[in-house]
Amino acid sequence: MQSMTTSRQLSTRHLLGIKDLNEDDIQLIFETADNFKDVLNRPIKKVPSLRDITIANVFFENSTRTRLSFELAEKRLSADTINFAASSSSVSKGETLIDTVNNILAMKVDMIVMRHPYPGAGIFLSKHVKAQIVNAGDGAHEHPTQALLDAFSIRERYGDVAGKKVAIIGDILHSRVALSNILCLRQLGAEVMVCGPTTLIPKYISSLGVKVEYNLVNALNWCDVANMLRIQLERQDIAYFPSLREYAMLYGLNKQLLDSLDKEITIMHPGPINRGVEITSDVADSHHSIILDQVENGVAVRMAVLYLLAGTRG
Amino acid sequence: MKQSILLEGQKFQITIQRLCHQLIENHADFSDSVIIGIQPRGIYLGRRIVEELKEIEGVSAIAYGELDITFFRDDFRRKDSGPLVPSSTHIDFIVEGKKVILMDDVLWTGRTIRAAMDALQAFGRPAKIELLVLVDRRFSRQLPIEPDYIGIQVDSIDSQRVTVRWKEVDTHDRITLLTEEES
């Protein structure tokens, strides 16, 4: 067997955004994630691959799913992990990002998983420190692992992503999930539409090769998969629509609307859900929804990303 | 590259059959035993042995699985070319309390087998683990691992390579020793 082992490698040392990945990279991540999903269904869900790697989860912004998912992925790979939340750290005493991270790296850390409120924070950091960086969300810019797990979940549901019609509905303007999803789905050959109030659709979004629709019913009639996004009130400095109630009436997905379509569509949501705003409870908990599958796949996809990135180390 | 054929055709088949009879000697009807082929190339040996055992009288149902050991290797990131690509694992039974026979085509340093024993733990605690290999590259072990059943033994040096071809996937059964030509 010594002559037959094959090896493939990602084309990038960091995962800063989907922009850095080519189609082969994404397929490699998916194929590796298939194997990790298999591992996660065993009685013992752990492999020793990264036992000599230390990973710091550095979160300058709140997160439940992503942080837990990364931490679990790291532990399943036997990596050592440390967690850092900006709210309880010396950042509030005036320490800069590079200083903070270099102090963490001085403790012999190999990889940084970072979430930060500023777009490009991961890219900036990757140019100034030695460690490998995984972007776990940078402002309204990118959230690559979310896009990968979304596309992976679509592939799991339909067998393939190419040719599928995906509508991303809601607050596109403030969403890093939207941008990463658009780039990832386009790379894999899916058709993408964005839908939301005019004020929440970025002006030049169609230059990314996506359709733009302002009417929810039209979007739902067009798509195979609807990815419902949350209204990011914490990023909205001005009022983009008259009231949350009006938004819920015009862009909220409910059972009645779903039943009025003449086909079955799949409902996704990156979380956290605001029940009764962008999606009602009966839709979120229905068989159309693969919201919890997305969460489950998140661990396998993140394991694949960390495993493959570790393999690109010198 | 100089090639010398170590085993093929009729003799290859006789070797497989001898291994089967040796297995039957120790495992009788295989009711407490399971066979596991190691990915990626040990599975062809495992499948062939299972097929032959079924041909031979008295052996009908044999638990057979395939084990991928990629994530358990100790040379991950020490190869020049990046992470190793995993194959799939199919083990739809519990190995708890069973006698496990691991199968691989070539035994060289022993590191694959060490990883396989590690990987197997996720499926329970076997009563016993045995090792069957088609080719034993003896005197080249880096770990204290020895096979229980051996197809053929080969004396080789590290720069040489041993390949096993299977008629199911490579059109013919053949074991070849490859030697790098001196330039």
ipTM for the complex shown: 0.73
B8-73+84-159, which class in CATH?
A: alpha beta
Nearest Cβ partner of B86 from A2, A35, A313? A35
Pair A112, A163 in one domain: no
Do A312 and B82 make contact, defined as CB atoms within 8 angstroms? Answer: yes
The reply to whether residue B108 touches residue A2, judged by beta carbons under 8 angstroms, is: yes
For residue A45, being part of any structural domain is answered with yes
The number of folded domains in chain A is 2
Which residue from B111, B74, B89 is spatially nearest to B36, judged by alpha carbons? B89
Domain identity same for A258 and A185: yes
pLDDT of residue A4: 46
Give me the CATH number covering residue A177.
3.40.50.1370
Phi/psi at A74 (nearest 5 deg)?
-65, -45
pLDDT given at position A87 = 74
Residues A156 and A273 in one domain: yes
Residues A148, A253 within the same domain: yes
pLDDT-derived band of residue A226, with 50, 70 and 90 as boundaries?
very high
All residues of chain A having their beta carbon less than 8 Å from the beta carbon of residue B84 are 5-7, 311
Per-residue confidence (pLDDT) for residue A2, from 0 to 100: 41
Tokens 């939207």 correspond to what residue? A178
- Average pLDDT for residues A282-293, to the nearest whole number? 95
CB-CB contact of A134 with A113 (8 Å): yes
At B81 the pLDDT is: 53
pLDDT exceeds cutoff 80 at A273: yes
List the strands of the sheet with A54-59, edge to edge. A80-85, A54-59, A111-116, A132-138
User: How many helices and strands in chain B, by DSSP H and E?
Assistant: 4, 8
The pLDDT value given to residue A5: 52
Q: What is the pLDDT of residues A71-99, one digit of tens each?
A: 999 999 999 999 988 776 767 778 888 88
Neighbours of A209 (CB within 10 A): 12
Q: A6 lies in a domain?
A: no
Q: Which residues of B touch A74 (CB under 8 A)?
A: none
Residues B129-148: pLDDT tens digits?
999 999 999 999 999 999 99
Instruction: State the average pLDDT for chain A.
Output: 92
Full residue range of the structural domain in which residue A71 is found: 18-142+295-310
Find how far residue A277's CA is from the centre of its chain: 21
* Contacts with B44 from chain A: Cβ below 8 Å: none
Q: Is A115 annotated as a binding residue?
A: yes
Contact (Cβ atoms closer than 8 angstroms) between residue B36 and residue B46: yes
Cα(A8)–Cα(A65) distance, rounded to whole angstroms? 29
Q: Is the pLDDT of residue A313 over 70?
A: no
With CA atoms as reference, the chain B residue closest to A9 would be: B82
Ligand-binding annotation for A276, yes or no, is no
Residues of A in contact with B68 (CB under 8 A): 35
Element (H, E) at B130: strand B128-138
A199 Cβ neighbours under 8 A, 6+ residues apart: A173, A240, A241
Looking at the fold, whether A156 and A267 belong to one and the same domain comes out as yes
Q: Do B85 and A6 touch (CB under 8 A)?
A: yes
Kindly state whether residues A115 and A192 are assigned to the same domain: no
Q: Identify all chain B residues contacting A6, using CB atoms and an 8 Å cutoff.
A: 40, 84-85
Q: Which of residues 33-62 of B touch A (CB under 8 A)?
A: 38, 40-42
Q: What angle do CA A83, A85, A91 make, to 5 degrees?
A: 125
Task: Dump pLDDT digits (tens) for A158-181.
Answer: 999 999 999 999 999 999 999 999
Residue A3 confidence (pLDDT) above 70: no
Helix, strand, coil % (nearest 5) of chain A? Answer: 45, 15, 40
CB B159 within 8 A of CB A2: no
User: Over 60: is that where the pLDDT of A1 sits?
Assistant: no
Do A22 and A120 share a structural domain?
yes
Q: Please give the pLDDT value at position A85.
A: 85
My answer on whether A240 and A299 are in the same domain is no
Question: What is the tens place of the pLDDT at every residue in A46-57?
Answer: 999 999 899 999
Contact, A226 vs A167, CB < 8 A? Answer: yes
Contact A307 B71 (CB under 8 A): yes
B88-96: average pLDDT = 88
Nearest by Cα to B53 from B69, B31, B75: B31
pLDDT of residue A237: 81
**Per-residue pLDDT averaged across A66-70, rounded?**
96
In contact, B122 and A43? CB cutoff 8 Å? yes
**Are residues A113 and A24 part of one domain?**
yes
Most confident option among A234-243, B34-43, B66-75: B34-43
- The size of the A-B interface in CB pairs under 8 A is 85
Same structural domain, A134 and A194: no
